[in-house]
Amino acid sequence: MKVAVACDHAGFGLKETVLNKIKALGHEAIDCGAQDAQRVDFPDYAAKAGALLQNGQADRAVLICGSGIGMCIAANKLRGVYACVCHDAYSAHQGVEHDAMNALCLGALIIGKNLAEELVERFLNASYFNEGNYKKRVDKILALEAKI
């Protein structure tokens, strides 16, 4: 799996941990920046990773800012990107399984490195169920998105 990773200045300190975990799990990590802790605007980096999801160059994305919220809001403005802030293990896999989440948003000022590694692993090991009520509900999300 190819995984785009993007952060802003607040998320920079957690980015290397995330990149290393993705690689340790046998996936390809695509570093979309930021490349240092200098102040930057998170929407620019959400857009970089989101574009890779949109054009099929990435299968999933991990987006990191201070709280995870800004990245999540920005990413969800991009058609075909389904981002959620997850700071617990259940949500990190359940969002994929039930809701076809393809972007995990993390708050570097909220969680530590060990939890970030666990969340990334749960997120990447999960698969969308794509049947029954799960499919019906995601199809309804796609129909809402088509109206935009």
Percent of the chain with pLDDT over 90: 99
pLDDT exceeds 90 at position 148: no
Domain 2-146 has CATH 3.40.1400.10: yes
Per the structure block, which two tokens stand in for 148? 């935009």
The pLDDT, as a whole number, for residue 58 is: 98
Query: In 34-112, which ranges are continuous DSSP H helix?
Result: 42-54, 69-75, 89-99
Domain ranges of the chain: 2-146
pLDDT exceeds 90 at position 98: yes
Closest CA to 5 of 71, 70, 66: 71
- Residues with catalytic function: 65, 98
Gap between the Cα atoms of 132 and 49, Å rounded? 30
